[in-house]
Structure formats: C-alpha cells, structure tokens
Amino acid sequence: MSVLVKNPFNHDIPAADTPLVNVQLNGAWIQVPKGTNVVEVARKNEAFLPHYCYHPKLSIPGNCRMCLFEMGTPKLDAERKPVVGADGKPEIAWMPRPQIGCATNVTEGMGIRTDSPLAEECRKGVMEFLLINHPLDCPICDQAGECKLQEFSYDYGQAGSRFTEHKVTKPKRVDIGERIVLDDERCIMCSRCVRFAKEMVHDDVLGFTERGSHTTLAIHPGKRFDSNYSLNTVDICPVGALTSKDFRFKMRVWFLKETKSVCTGCATGCNIVIGSREKTIYRYTPRVNEEVNSHWMCDQGRLGFHYAHDPARLTVPEARAGGGFFPASWPDALAQIGARLKAFIPSQIALVASARLTNEDLFMLASLRGALGGEGVRSDVVRRVGQADGILRSADLNPNTAGARLMRLGGDGADLSDIAEAIERGLVKALIVTHEDAVAAGIPAATLGKLDLLVYVGLLPNATAEWAHFRLPGAAPMEKRGSMINAQGRLQRLNKALAAPGAAREDWEIFRDLKSAVGGGNGIHSIEEVFKAMAAAHPEFSGWSLSKIGDGGVPFLPPAPAPGAPTQGTAPARPADLVPLVNPAKPA
Amino acid sequence: MPAPAERRLIFKHIDRPGYTPDIECYLRHGGYEQLKKAVTMKPADLINEVKVSGLRGRGGAGFSCGLKWSFIDPAKNTKPVYLICNADESEPGTFKDRQILHKDPHQMIEGMIISCFANHAHLAYIYIRGEFPHGARLLEKCLAEAKAKNFLGQDILGTGYDLEIYVHRGAGAYICGEETGLIESLEGKRAYPRIKPPYFPAVLGLYMSPTIVNNVETLCNVKHIVEMGGAAFAKIGKPNNTGTRVLCVSGDVVKPGYYEFEVGALTLGELIYDVCGGIRNGRKLKAVIPGGSSAKVLRAGEKYKIKQKGADGAMAEKEITLDEVPLDFDTMAAVGSMAGSGGVIVMDDSRNMVQCLANIAEFYAHESCGQCTPCREGSLWMKKITTRLAAGEIHANDPALLKSVADNIAGRTICAFGEACAWPVQSFLAKFPEEFAAPPSPAPAAAPAQAQAQPAARG
C-alpha cells in the first residue's frame, strides 16, 4: 500500500499477514484478523457499534463509553479445556461487566454481543449522559444533519428527558484559530481534536481545563490552532463544537449536493466531496482514500474554491475592439481566432498551457497544437513550486504536471523564457494562454504587446487578459468532469459539481472548436469521446475510461520526481524564484 | 494511649512520647535493620516472602501485594522498573497514611527501599497529595538523611545497588490516587486514568515501563514482613486477611481516631463501643460507612448471612448483626460493602441520610476527572438531585431516577471512580428508602420556579 500520508495509527487496516481468529458476533461465528478492535470487527460485519471518541487513525482513549458491548470468553471446564456446546461450537462465558469495543482486541473464541439487553442499556445510558448538559441547539447548529449526537440519539436515545436540573454553562464562540470556532457547551469531550492536533500535525495546543462535568476544551494560553490542517478537526468533531468559520451559518448540510472529486490545490490530489447547492459551492470535505489522503486534507486546499465564485469571472467570450473589450458569440470569436491563426506558420505560434487543466483539456489542447503545426509550435506550462510539508502538501502546486508532460505540452516551465525571447525577436507572433497569467509567469506585458494575436482562455481577468485580443471564458476544475495524474502517478477523476457560469465552456470544448476552426471538423462530442481519442493517441490510457477510473483513482504512472530535482538528460531546473508563486486559492 | 486489644505494628512508635520523625530516633528504635537484612537476600526470595505473607494492599482495593509484584518477570523485562509510593491519601474518612508520613516517615522509606530492591527498581517516586505540604518537606529531609547514611543513593550499604527516590507533590485532585491517574500526573499530564487493558501499570506504567504502585501502609508492612518472615506475618490476622489494619474512625463516636488491630480481630460493634467509647451524646447508631466514603453504607439493625468455618471445620452459614461484623476484607465484601481504605465513618440517629448522601455526592462531583462520559455527567447529576432532595424538594420519581443514574455509572467507566461515586448513592437509596421518599402530601409537589422559567430540555 502506497499511503502518501503517515497516520499515527491505522486501527482499521490490519497487516495483510494477520492470522484469522474465530469470534462469535451476535450469535454467528465469523473469522476476523486477530487483534482487530471490536468496533472495526463490528463495522465490517454489519453490526455497527456506535462511538464518539474512537477514530481509526488516532490513539484510543476509550473515554466516550458509547461502544460498550457484552464480551465473553471461551467457557473452560475443570481441566481448563473449552466446553463445546450441542451445536459443536465452543460455549461462551459472558462477563457481567461491559467492555469498550475500541480498546478490546479480538482473540480466539471471543464472544461479542452488540445487540444484547446489556449493550443496549449501556448505550442508552451513555446517550442520556451526553445529552443532559448539551445545549440541544440543533436548529442553529451547523453540525445538525451530520451530527453523531443527533444520529445516535435517534438510534439509541430516549424520547423524553429525565433531567430537570440546570445545565452546565460553558464558553461559547471561542476563537481558537484562524479558521475554526469552538462552542464549549456542545463539546462532548471526546478528545478527537486534541489527539489530531498532537498526533497528526504535532501542534499540541488543544487540551482540557477544569474537572468533571465542567471540563472545558481550551486552547493553550497564548497559542492559536492555526495549523494548515486545523479544519480536519471540524470534520472529526462528532458534534457541533468545532465549526469552520468559512462554512458556518452558510447552508444546512442536508441541502448540499455531494460530488466526489479531487482537490486541485497541489499535486497530491486529495480526494474530496464538493458540497454545493444550485450554482454555489459551500465547502470541500476530504473523502477517504487510503492510497492518497486517508481521511484528511489541508486547509489551503479545502478553502481553495472561492475563486470559482469571483464576481469578476469571465462569463462570455470577448473580443478587443479599439480600446475595449466587447462581448462576442462563441461561433464568431472562434471563427475569427481560427482564421487569424491560420495565417501563421507553426514557429510563429506559441502556447502557454496549464498544468491545472485536466488530461482531457490538455489532450484537446495538444490536438489543437497538432492542427497548428505540432511540435513546431512552442509550448510550456507555468511551474508552481511550494514547500512540501511532510503531511499532504506537495512541493508541486500544479495538480496535473504529469498530465501536461504526457501531452508533451511542457512540464518544468523552462521554455517560457524562450517563448518570451522569441516574441521579443518577432519570431513568435501569436500566443494562446490557457488558465495562466503569462505576465506573472515572466513574459513582460510589453512583450505581450508585440504580439499580433493573443488569445486568453481562463476564468478571471488578469494582466495577460488585458493584452489579449480575445478572452474566452473557461471552466474551473469543479465545473468539469475529467482526469488528472497526481505526484504519485495516480490517475484520478474529477466530477462536475456545477456548470460553468454564463456562457463559459469546458476547456476541452473550446480547444476542440478552435481546432475545428483551424483544421476542420472532428467527431468528438463528449468527455468520454475525448478520453477515447486520448487513449488511442496515448497507449498509457488504453483500456481505461473515466468510468473505470472510479471514485478512488488508479495507479497509472511511476511517481513524479520532486519538483526542482534535476532530471536526467535535461538542463537543470531553474531556481524556483524565477516563477512567481501563485496562491492556488486565487489563480491568475 | 493504645486502646485495649490494639496490636500496633505500623503505628508501634507513632504518638509514643519522645518519638521523633528524624533518622537518629528511627535508628535508635531498630531502624534500617531490616534493610540491612533485605539486601543480603535475593530479590526473588523477598518477593516470595511477601507472597507467603498474604499481604493485601492497604490503599482500598485490597489486591495481593505479592501477586502485584510478580507480574513483572525480571528475566524477560528489558525496561526500567519504577516503584511509586501512593501517598495521595484522599478518600474521605481516611487519615492513616498522614500519620505515618508525619510521624514515622523512615518506616515507610525503609519499606520502600526494600520493595525497590526486591523489584529491581532503581528509580522510585513518592506521590504525595498537595494538601500534605508538611509531609512533603519532611520526606525530602528524611530522604536526605537516608542518603547521608547510605541507605539510599549509589551503592547502597556497599551492595552495588543504586536507588533514587523523588518526592512529587500532587495539586489537589482525588483522582491522582487512582494508580494510572497518578502515573499520568507524574508524567506531567492531566490525571486521566488509563484504560485497562492495555495500560496495566505492571506492563505499561510510568513512561510505558513496568511500574509498581503501592500504598504507604502497604510499603510499611513490607519492612515488618522482612523482620518476622512471611510465614509469621501470615499468622497475624485471619487467613487471606493477614497482618494488621489501621482503622480511621470518624463521625459520631466519643473517641474518634486511628487504631491498629489485627485484621478481623474485632467486630464493628467492638470498635465503635469498646474502642471508640460508643456513640456521642448518648445517641444511637444509625449507619456506618466502613471503608472510606465510597464504600457502601451499612445500616444499624441489619442482619447479614455470612459463611463461617464452624467448630467442626465445615463451612456453615451464620446470621450476624451489624455489630458482629468482623473487620476484615472478606467479611466486609460478604456483607455488601468493603474494607476499602480503612476509613470508618459512623453516623448517629440525628443524621439526615439525604444530607449525608448530598455531601458525599458533592465531593465526587467535584473530584470526577471528567474524562469518561458516565462519571463526568452522572456524578454532577447525582449531586444536583441529592442537593435538591436535601433542600426538601423531593418528587415521587426521584429515588428511582437517582438509582438509575447510579446504575448507569457503576461498571461502565474507565476507572473505579465510577463505582466510588455510584456505590454511596445505590446503598443509601437501598438502605434508607424512607428518607428518600417524597413526603405524602395531597397537594402535588410544586415544580421549582427555575424549572418553570426554563423548561427541561430533552436530554
């Protein structure tokens, strides 16, 4: 297993060579890996044991007591030999005292009852205790709808309350970090966030103060929980104690449409669920993929979707006329660009491609390049280098560098200065810039001014767009289906959560139509057909389709070298400072 | 003055005129002679003597000391072994360790050094409760004295055995007396008791190393076991209930205080009436909590059926009254309570049991560490109910509710605090139901004004 992220624990993944043991679960004998904890055994065998504090990737404190179950051991006779019952199966001696499933590991002959009166009584009791001091402010709580307290209360709780005393009051709206807010009254002291901060991101700033029922989750005096992973505590908080400042009070979670996709904030490609309603994305949450991001994602990637709703987004094609830009129809704009492109020989045309586009976009862009003259058309992508953090963030901030390389459109950004120089010298007269800012990438605005034709395809106006003759509105990653290849060489699928705004189109369509305008028609009408054509042109993709990639992605290419590492046979990569670092949350 | 029938072993010198806690006085009274003897013995033989002695822990649980020591296999163990003296005496009604620490600390230190030697421990801690500042200072002084005499430190008495003992003061939390909570506290963390399994101190104790945690009085006994031999020690008291026991009597008796007896040598009635001079102010006995406030209460006039060995050697069932209950571990368990920490709390017939329970419940609500749900939430809920009952506001369903809350705590928590807070509630309700019953009144009990203003939320 090539897990990218190192979890402190993996209680849910027994080693492959773990021997099996026989256990009796709710009356049925099953075989399970020895040493697995009872919560996992139950979960994997259709006998869910509810729990709050247990998390498969964190240490086990055993504090919530929700997973209490009735445990038995093999009954032994006077000679300490197991007693076999009439059914030929070992008899079990049941213990009067319930045990916690999370900290009990299965051994040969163990008996587990999750549905016995004792187990049910325990759950009911714990549920009641958890609720007596809880504010029960579900109508205004962001967690409502995905709250384990609500869920298990519905499943195991009681209809009425026996609590007639005053509730304990605690601090509300505690500002403990840049991106999270704490409501101590809602907290059930499960300590998941405390353990996450300590064990996963080594930022041990959370803890408890006070005692007994007055126990209060707090931040260490003078500290803030500003880890780039802080929002994961909002995910693992089983209740509404920790909420995201970005998401709170924005939308009831049950209205959110969930689209499985991939974060495009860096080359890691964390698997995510996009939560959207109608034309608005409200949040990203990590989606479990043990091969990539396990249960987590970084805050930067998680919050990196707001640009899609920037009011400045291009929504109609525009053509420069005189001193300004005027809307144009797609057929008109594409026909004009096609006609003008045909006037240049291949070496007079250059592309600034983007490693933030999908494989399908890039394949159609490469096809356009083929129609314009193939390799004779200069091309490179804009490189983005950050700092790998040893957890999830990749040093390569482009999500699909491997895809751009595969389509031979560039990879390390080294050719951008050649393109700039060629424009300066009048060799290159037409430039197509896709989803990048050529100016920020090192081609001076004055140089762009020398071009006979500058086409900008992208989301937001930028310095390049200022100089463009045509500005074509493309689609953001959450607005399209397609695939990308992450730094591990894993082929992963993006799904479309919402349509691109206005007349904006998916980029592969723009490139297809430009290609038609330049070199005639083709028969590609859907993203699946793009993939098919791509597979025909690139044997790496043969046998695959977007459907076959599945929600979890597939191993595809050998892992990419770390950005900046010199690759054999090519010139040493340029220093990172030549390329401006662009915050992925605000693409150029 | 020792009371009649006392057998003072641990408290032999305590309160004797002229006996001081310094090492010179201790040496004049034969101090550290047993250490000199012990270091000539094999550690395994010392452990065996303790096993043979039948010594049971004096902290509350009454677990076999020799068995506790034998969990660590020196042949297999590769980690350092730690020994901790639990001097966090916090159980209400218990004040025996305090006397030892203040009046005869070297006795405990000698027992501790012997115990460390027997268990191959080279580093030991005395975890003393924060409320004993004098004890802590005195211990520091005594450890320095022992070190100066080479009973402690490097190459003890020329044997090549090294041992350091440090005093660590608690910060005032009952839960630090729970051995795994104590270990967490010693490691510098919140005293959250650990889950067992997997964190049995003998396997994964202090710094995840094998650790022995013994009570002050238990460690003192080790010295006497070395002195007289395990077999001779086992003859004191009763089988499986060996040695002497320091009993701390408080409450409504004429002469409250601490008394030391052979385990099981006297009955509760003898203790209260003969030793402690009976109930104060000519009143009558109402109830006794026999082993610290967490032990289940016993009611005057109750009769218990216990199994006893008859004259012919056969086991026979016998009915005894509360006064006739012998003070040993097994009988206390048989009558439905526990010998616990030896804190005997006596209540006379003027006591309102609801108020007594409210007092106990308040203590446990205040001391719950807050780690696990049933104890954290239940202890405060029980306090709130009992406080309300003590104020006279009793509803018909309150006793059943209170019992149910206690039942939902006991047996479902990380540590024994769950039982400690639930047992008093369960036993008071069971033994004194008439005091918890709502007053029979034609008018229904009015709901409290606060509750009306703020309707009970669903919980």
pLDDT at residue A322 in the model: 83
- pLDDT tens for B203-258 read 999 999 999 999 999 999 999 999 999 999 999 999 999 999 999 999 999 999 99
The answer to whether residues A403 and A431 belong to one domain is yes
The answer to whether residues A365 and A268 belong to one domain is no
On whether any CB of chain A is under 8 Å from the CB of B369, the answer is: yes
Nearest residue on chain A to B389, alpha-carbon basis = A165
Tokens of A440: 């920020």
Q: Is A363 inside any structural domain?
A: yes
Q: Which residues in chain B touch residue A213, judged by CB atoms under 8 angstroms apart? A: 365, 368, 370, 376-377, 379-381
ipTM field: 0.93
CA distance B252 to B258: 14
User: Strand A206-209 and strand A28-33: pairing?
Assistant: unpaired
Mutation site for B-interface testing, chosen from A53, A65, A216 by largest number of B Cβ within 10 Å: A65
Mind telling me how many Å the CA of A97 is from chain B's nearest CA? 6
pLDDT at residue A5 in the model: 83
On whether any CB of chain B is under 8 Å from the CB of A167, the answer is: yes
Question: What's the farthest any 2 CA atoms get from each other in chain B?
Answer: 82
On whether any CB of chain B is under 8 Å from the CB of A134, the answer is: yes
Tokens of B94: 């218990």
On whether any CB of chain A is under 8 Å from the CB of B37, the answer is: no
Which residues of chain B form CATH 3.40.50.11540?
23-235
The answer to whether residues A443 and A360 belong to one domain is yes
Mutation site for B-interface testing, chosen from A51, A59, A63, A214 by largest number of B Cβ within 10 Å: A63
The answer to whether residues A468 and A320 belong to one domain is yes
Residue A92 belongs to what domain range? 20-126
Q: Which residues, at least 6 apart from A343, have a Cβ–Cβ distance to it below 8 Å?
A: none
The answer to whether residues A99 and A221 belong to one domain is no
Calculate the average pLDDT of chain B.
Answer: 93
Average the pLDDT over B126-155 and give the result: 97
**Residue B459 is nearest to which of A122, A125, A132, comparing CB atoms?**
A132
Average the pLDDT over A28-47 and give the result: 97
CA distance A359 to A347: 25
The answer to whether residues A46 and A182 belong to one domain is no
Which residues of chain B form CATH 1.20.1440.230?
353-439
- The dihedral built from the CA positions of residue A145, A146, A150 and A156, taken in this order, carries a sign that is positive
On whether any CB of chain B is under 8 Å from the CB of A61, the answer is: yes
Q: Structurally, how many domains does chain A consist of?
A: 3
Single-letter amino acid code for the residue at A537: A
On whether any CB of chain B is under 8 Å from the CB of A209, the answer is: no
pLDDT band at A323 (very low <50, low <70, confident <90, very high): confident
> Does residue B197 have a cis bond before it (omega within 30 degrees)?
yes
The answer to whether residues A531 and A413 belong to one domain is yes
**What's phi and psi for A78, nearest 5 deg?**
-60, -30
pLDDT at residue B309 in the model: 77
Q: Which residues in chain B touch residue A188, judged by CB atoms under 8 angstroms apart? A: 373
Q: How many CB pairs under 8 A join A and B?
A: 126
Nearest residue on chain B to A59, alpha-carbon basis = B195
Query: Chain A neighbours among B 382-401 (CB < 8 Å)?
Result: 384-385, 388, 401
Q: State the DSSP code for B250.
A: E
CA distance A299 to A100: 33
Mutation site for A-interface testing, chosen from B388, B412, B419 by largest number of A Cβ within 10 Å: B412
- pLDDT tens for A392-423 read 999 999 999 999 999 999 988 889 999 999 99
pLDDT band at B453 (very low <50, low <70, confident <90, very high): very low
Mutation site for A-interface testing, chosen from B200, B366, B376 by largest number of A Cβ within 10 Å: B376
Q: What DSSP assignment string belongs to B182-226?
A: HHHHHTTS---PPPTTT--HHHH-GGGS-EEEEEHHHHHHHHHHH
Residue A588 has pLDDT above 70, yes or no: no
Q: Is A154 inside any structural domain?
A: no
Q: Which residues in chain B touch residue A59, judged by CB atoms under 8 angstroms apart? A: none
- pLDDT tens for A265-320 read 999 999 999 999 999 999 999 999 999 999 999 999 999 999 999 999 999 999 99
On whether any CB of chain A is under 8 Å from the CB of B50, the answer is: no
Single-letter amino acid code for the residue at B240: N
Single-letter amino acid code for the residue at A305: F
Q: Is A332 inside any structural domain?
A: yes
pLDDT band at B441 (very low <50, low <70, confident <90, very high): low
On whether any CB of chain A is under 8 Å from the CB of B213, the answer is: no
- pLDDT tens for B334-343 read 999 999 999 9
CA distance B441 to A328: 88
Class of domain B23-235: alpha beta
Q: Which residues in chain A touch residue B198, judged by CB atoms under 8 angstroms apart? A: 103
Q: State the DSSP code for A46.
A: T
On whether any CB of chain B is under 8 Å from the CB of A117, the answer is: no
On whether any CB of chain B is under 8 Å from the CB of A132, the answer is: yes
Query: Which parts of A168-310 are beta strand (E)?
Result: 174-175, 180-182, 206-209, 216-219, 242-244, 257-262, 271-277, 280-286
Mutation site for B-interface testing, chosen from A11, A102, A120, A211 by largest number of B Cβ within 10 Å: A211
Tokens of A518: 């330049």
On whether any CB of chain A is under 8 Å from the CB of B373, the answer is: yes
Mind telling me how many Å the CA of B372 is from chain A's nearest CA? 4
Strand, coil or helix: B87: strand
> Does residue A566 have a cis bond before it (omega within 30 degrees)?
no
Residue B276 has pLDDT above 80, yes or no: yes
Residue B451 has pLDDT above 90, yes or no: no
pLDDT at residue B312 in the model: 79
A168-182 burial, b at 16+ Cβ within 10 Å, e below that, comes to bebeeebebbebbbb
C-alpha distance from residue A473 to each of A312, A354, A465, A548, A580 (Å): 11, 15, 11, 30, 23
**Residue A62 is nearest to which of B366, B384, B414, comparing CB atoms?**
B414
Q: What is the pTM of this model?
A: 0.93
Tokens of B118: 């027997």
- pLDDT tens for B22-66 read 999 999 999 999 999 999 999 999 999 999 999 999 988 889 999
CATH number, domain B238-348, options 3.10.20.600, 3.40.50.2300, 3.40.50.10490, 1.10.150.300: 3.10.20.600
Q: Which residues pair with B389 in a beta bridge?
A: none
CA distance B284 to B300: 9
Q: Do B451 and A164 touch (CB under 8 A)?
A: yes
Mind telling me how many Å the CA of B450 is from chain A's nearest CA? 8
Helices (H), B229-267: 230-234
CA distance B332 to B240: 13
pLDDT band at A562 (very low <50, low <70, confident <90, very high): low
Residue B269 has pLDDT above 70, yes or no: yes
CA distance B161 to B118: 11
**Residue A65 is nearest to which of B190, B374, B388, comparing CB atoms?**
B374
pLDDT at residue A96 in the model: 96
The answer to whether residues A173 and A286 belong to one domain is yes
Residue A572 has pLDDT above 70, yes or no: no
The CATH number that applies at residue A304 is: 3.30.70.20
- The dihedral built from the CA positions of residue B350, B351, B353 and B354, taken in this order, carries a sign that is positive
The CATH number that applies at residue A399 is: 3.40.50.740
- pLDDT tens for B65-107 read 999 999 999 999 999 999 999 999 999 999 999 999 999 999 9
Q: Which residues in chain B touch residue A208, judged by CB atoms under 8 angstroms apart? A: 190, 370
pLDDT at residue B454 in the model: 46
Mind telling me how many Å the CA of B407 is from chain A's nearest CA? 9
pLDDT at residue A3 in the model: 52
Residue A520 has pLDDT above 80, yes or no: no
The answer to whether residues A336 and A437 belong to one domain is yes
Contact A316, A327 (CB under 8 A): yes
User: Strand A453-458 and strand A470-473: pairing?
Assistant: parallel
Query: Which parts of A372-481 are beta strand (E)?
Result: 378-381, 430-434, 453-458, 470-473
**Residue B412 is nearest to which of A65, A213, A214, comparing CB atoms?**
A65
Q: Which residues in chain B touch residue A100, judged by CB atoms under 8 angstroms apart? A: 195
Residue A4 has pLDDT above 80, yes or no: no
Residue B130: CB atoms within 10 Å: 14
Mind telling me how many Å the CA of A484 is from chain B's nearest CA? 45
Residue A553 has pLDDT above 60, yes or no: yes
The answer to whether residues A235 and A281 belong to one domain is yes
**Residue B195 is nearest to which of A103, A162, A208, comparing CB atoms?**
A103
Helices (H), A53-171: 117-132, 148-156
C-alpha distance from residue B259 to each of A227, A302, B15, B135, B187 (Å): 59, 68, 12, 21, 35
Is domain B353-439 classified as CATH 3.40.50.2300? Answer: no
- pLDDT tens for A437-487 read 999 999 999 999 999 999 999 999 999 999 999 999 999 999 999 999 999
Query: Which parts of B25-114 are beta strand (E)?
Result: 81-87
Average the pLDDT over B140-159 and give the result: 97
Mind telling me how many Å the CA of A161 is from chain B's nearest CA? 5
The answer to whether residues A423 and A508 belong to one domain is yes
CA angle at B438 for the pair B435 and B443, rounded to the nearest 5°:
150
CA distance B406 to A299: 44
CA distance A120 to A152: 12
Q: Which residues in chain B touch residue A132, judged by CB atoms under 8 angstroms apart? A: 377, 381, 459
On whether any CB of chain B is under 8 Å from the CB of A129, the answer is: yes
Q: Is A63 inside any structural domain?
A: yes
Strand, coil or helix: A491: strand
Contact A320, A470 (CB under 8 A): yes
**What's phi and psi for B141, nearest 5 deg?**
-65, -45
pLDDT at residue B316 in the model: 87
On whether any CB of chain B is under 8 Å from the CB of A213, the answer is: yes
Tell the burial category of A133 from Cβ atoms under 10 Å away from its Cβ (0-12, 13-18, 19+).
buried
Query: Chain A neighbours among B 127-186 (CB < 8 Å)?
Result: 173
Q: Do A166 and B454 touch (CB under 8 A)?
A: yes
pLDDT at residue B307 in the model: 87
Nearest residue on chain A to B190, alpha-carbon basis = A208
Which residues of chain B form CATH 3.10.20.600?
238-348
CA distance B320 to B336: 13
On whether any CB of chain B is under 8 Å from the CB of A170, the answer is: no
The answer to whether residues A99 and A176 belong to one domain is no
Mind telling me how many Å the CA of B35 is from chain A's nearest CA? 41
